[in-house]
A and B are shown apart, each in its own frame.
Chain A
Amino acid sequence: NAGVTQTPKFQVLKTGQSMTLQCAQDMNHNSMYWYRQDPGMGLRLIYYSASEGTTDKGEVPNGYNVSRLNKREFSLRLESAAPSQTSVYFCASSEIGAAYNEQFFGPGTRLTVL
């Protein structure tokens, strides 16, 4: 099992460019999440998908869109990147109803917007 995988690992964008961060999990989890981590801060939730076919905003959704493509995949799109979106992005998944509903995290994507 690969767990949660994210692509790419690193990305540099210019202001105004768009890109999509990909996330996939092979644990058959229902719920998936996108977080961002800024220097000196904890992770903040951008969007989540409680189950296939649903998505909801988290704490910091502005400037982002998401797509729950199927049960395995959950992508995050930046339509017009801004320097304030320079951050490390983490995808996570969990199984609702399991003990503790533990979230499993991917390795992160370091995004720099110039």
Chain B
Amino acid sequence: AQTVTQSQPEMSVQEAETVTLSCTYDTSESDYYLFWYKQPPSRQMILVIRQEAYKQQNATENRFSVNFQKAAKSFSLKISDSQLGDAAMYFCAYRSFNNAGNMLTFGGGTRLMVKP
């Protein structure tokens, strides 16, 4: 079974600065998907960014980008120009490519605080 680990329970960043959230995973599969979800105080789960393991190019969505290191099984999220609205819980998630049920395995989350 796959496991996802987020080693930073809490992080803080100054507004307008850059922060990187860490995620590592354990799998014996070669093809899979990785995701970062944001959960603000409203509890709504919002997809931030996603990456296919077979793509070497790191995904980017506006101020959000990832550093995907397949050999190291690492998938970190970089948030540039941090904004107050970025304050939330962030979850890393894994999905097997050949997963008929499309099930996600989540990490334990990192709480990001943004200081004005």
Report if A33 contacts B (CB, 8 A). Answer: yes
- Complex-state Cα separation, A45 to B4, whole angstroms: 14
Residue of A nearest to B101 (CB): A50
- Residues of chain B within 8 A (CB-CB) of A92 are 45
A103 with B108: CB separation less than 8 A: no
- Complex-state Cα separation, A40 to B9, whole angstroms: 8
Known: A90-B45, A107-B42. A41 touches B50 (CB 8 A): no
Count of interface residues, chain B, beta-carbon cutoff 8 Å: 25
> Total A-B residue pairs with C-beta atoms closer than 8 Å?
56
- Complex-state Cα separation, A103 to B105, whole angstroms: 12
B109 with A40: CB separation less than 8 A: yes
A43 with B102: CB separation less than 8 A: no
B86 to chain A, nearest CB (A): 19
Task: Give the interface residue-count category, chain A.
Answer: 20 to 34
Report if A42 contacts B (CB, 8 A). Answer: yes
Known: A105-B45, A107-B44. A42 touches B101 (CB 8 A): no
B73 to chain A, nearest CB (A): 17
Report if A75 contacts B (CB, 8 A). Answer: no
A11 to chain B, nearest CB (A): 15
B114 to chain A, nearest CB (A): 20
Report if B25 contacts A (CB, 8 A). Answer: no
Provide 8 A-B residue pairs closer than 8 Å at the C-beta atoms, listed in order of the A residue. A31-B102, A43-B45, A43-B104, A45-B105, A48-B101, A50-B102, A100-B50, A103-B104
Name B's A-contacting residues (CB within 8 A): 4, 6, 9, 33, 35, 42-45, 47, 50, 52, 91, 93, 95, 100-109
Name A's B-contacting residues (CB within 8 A): 31, 33, 40-45, 48, 50, 56, 58, 88, 90, 92, 94, 96, 100-103, 105, 107-108
